[in-house]
Structure 1
Amino acid sequence: MKTKQSCHFGVKALNSVLPVLLTFVIGGIIILAIGENPLTTYRVMVERSLFNLRGVTRTLQLAAPLLLSGMAISICFKANVFNMGIEGQLVFGGFMAGIVGHYMTNMNPAAHKLICFGVGILCGMAFALVPALLRGCFHVDEMVVTLVLNYAMARVLEYLASVVFRDTGAGYVATPPVQDSARFFLIGGSKVTPFLFIALAVFLVMAFVMTKTKLGYTITALGKNPSFAEATGLRSRRTVILLMLISGALAGIAGTGHMLSEKTFYTLDFSGSPGLGWDGMLIALLGRHSPGGILAAALFYSALKTGSEAIGLYANVPNEIVAVIQSLIILFLAVRFLNEKYGLAERLREKLAARRALGEEGKA
C-alpha cells in the first residue's frame, strides 16, 4: 500500500515538474538560437530573484496576490466549477478599493485599510454572485458567463477611469492615487509590504478549509463525482454558490492588496499582462489545486517575474524571452489538463493499438 501511495505521489510530482523542465529546455534552445548562453541567462534569473535581499523580497511581494488568485481558482476548479472571472473580480475589487482609498480622507490608517478591503471583498463577491446564481439555479455554464463579464467589466472600468474618476493631472488614463492612510508602505529596506503577511494568513486559512473541514470534503466529492455527492445529501447548488462567493472574495482581497501596496492608482494595465487573475489560473494548474502546490507555484512564478526584470540588465537577452517561457508553461499545462480531463493519451494509444491489430489481421 505504501509503495503504491509513494509511486502515485511520485507520478503526480513528475507531472507537475515536467512542464517546467520542458519549458526551460525549449527556452534554452531559443536562447541558443539568438546566440546567447542559456545557462548564463538562467543563472542571472535565479541569482537576481532568490540570492539577494532585494530580489528575494521582491519575489515574495509579487507572490502575495498570486497566492490568493491561485487559491480563488483552485477552490472552484477542484469542485468542477469553472470560475473564469477571477481577473474581472480582482480588478473590480482593486478599482473600487482605490476609489475609496482616495476619496475618504482624514481617516485612521487601520480603519481606512479595513474599509478598503471590505469594499474590495464585497465587489469581488458581487461580480461572482451573478454567474453563481445562474449556475446554481438555472444550470447556465459559468465559464461562458464569467468570460463575458470579464470583458464587460474591463470596458466599464475603462469608462470610469477615463471619464468619471480620471486624474486630470496624469498624462494618461488613471485614477487619483490612494491616500497615505490607505497605503501599505515598504518594510525597512526590503521590497515587502504588510500585505504579504495578510495574503499569507488568508491563504493558510483557506488551506485549512480545503484540507481539514467539511467544506473541503464537499469540494473534493463534488469534483470527483457530483451525482454521487448530490445523492448522499451534499447540496451541490448551495455549495456552488458559496464557492463562487468565496472565490470572488479572495480575488477582491488580491486586487485590493495590489492596489494599496503595488499600484496605488488604477490604470488600464492595472494587473499587468496577462493579468493577476489569469496568472492565478496558471499557478492553480501548475500546483495541481493543492495548497502546497499553489504556494510553490506562486513562488516559482513570482521568481520568474523578478528574474525577467534583471535579464535585460545583466544578460544580453531580451525581456521578451520570459514571456516566451510563460507561454510555453501555459501550453504544456493546457496539454496536461486536456489529457487528464479527456484521456487524450489513452485514446491515442487505443487507436494506435487498434490500427496495429488491423494491420496484423490484414497480413494474416
Structure 2
Amino acid sequence: MLIGCPKEIKNQEYRVGMTPSAAMEAISRGHSVIIETNAGVGAGFPDADYASVGAEIVGTAAEIFKRADMVVKVKEPQAVERKQLREGQILFTYLHLAPDPEQTKDLLDSGVTAIAYETVTDRNGGLPLLAPMSEVAGRLAPQVGSWTLQKANGGRGVLMGGVPGVGPAKVVVLGGGVVGTHAARIAAGMGADVTITDLSTPRLRYLDDVFGGQFKNAYASKNNTAELIAEADMVIGAVLIPGAEAPKLVSRAQLATMKPGAALVDVAIDQGGCFETSKATTHDDPIYEVDGIMHYCVANMPGAVARTSTIALGNATMPFMMALADKGWKQACEDDEHLLNGLNTHAGKLTYYAVGKALGIDVVSPSLALKM
C-alpha cells in the first residue's frame, strides 16, 4: 500500500501524522511511504529523517492526496484538503464530526473511507488513539489556565499555588476521565486547591483511592457543579461522549455567578465545547472574554507541544495503521471490531451513530459498510 502523510495546515498545528519510526515500520513490511516536504519539521523531524528510512519526499500536498492509497494525518482535513479526497481512499486521522456539518458533508460527498482516531475503541472500553492526546491536553490545561488567570491576560491575577499567607487558586475539573485526571494531578502539583467532578460514583471511588489527599472529588449534580464554579478561579471542562457533541455543563447565565476574571479552559472544544459560551480559538489568539469570564478554547492544544504529542500519538496509531496497510481496511476492520468502531464514513454513507444523531443524518451500520 502507498501511505501518504501531508503537512498539517491548521493554524499553528506542528504535529505530523507519521514519525520516521512509523515510516520505517511500514517500509520494512513492503509498503511505500510518501511525505510532504517539511511535514515533520515542526515536531523536530526533518525530511532527512524520513529519507534515511526509505520514504519519498514530495513537494506538495496535492501529490500526496493524488497518489496515496491511505492518507495519515493528525487534525481533521481542512476544506482545501477535503476537495482532494476520493472514493476508494482511506483517511486515517482525528475527525470530530459531530459539531462539524460542513466537514461531514464534504467527506460524504468525496466517498472517502474515513476512520477517526477518536472513535477507535479497545477491549477495556477505552479510546486508545484519543488517550495520548487527552493526556497531553489534560496536563496542559492547568498550565494554560494559570497563564489565562494572569492579570495581563484579563484574569483574576491569582497564583495557582498561592504564597505563605495567601491561599491557592481554586480549580474545578469537570469530568473524571483521562483528561480530567491528568488535569487534576497537574493542578494539584502546582499547589492549587482542586476538586474533580464526575457522574460515576465508581470512578469517584477510584480517584479517591488512587489520589486521595492530592485533590478532592464531588458528584457532578447540577447543584454541586453550580456551587463549585461559583467559588472557582479556574474551571477545566474535561467531559467526553465518544464521537458525540459534548454536553453543555455551564450556561451563559451561570457566568454571572462566577468571580470576575475567572478562567474557563475547554478541553472538549473539538467536540463542540462543554461551556455554552465556548467557541474554538487558536494558539495565535487563544483567549476571549464573555461577561467578565476569560475563555481558553484552543482546538488543538497538544499542537503546542508538537514533538511530545507526535511521538505519543505515533506510538498509539502505528499498530492500527499497519493493520490497515497490511490487510486493507475491510479485512482489518473485520478482524478487529475496535478498529471498525473507528469507521465514520464510507462510499458516501455515514457509519457512526452518534454523529448521525448530532447532525440529523441517516446512518449505515459499520458492519453493513463492510459489505458495500
TM-score, length-normalised on structure 1? Answer: 0.29
> Larger helix proportion, structure 1 or 2?
1
Structure having the higher Rg: 1
Question: Hey, which of these two has a bigger chunk of strand by percent?
Answer: 2
TM-score normalised per structure 2: 0.28
By relative contact order (CA 8 Å, sep 6+), the higher-ranking structure is: 1
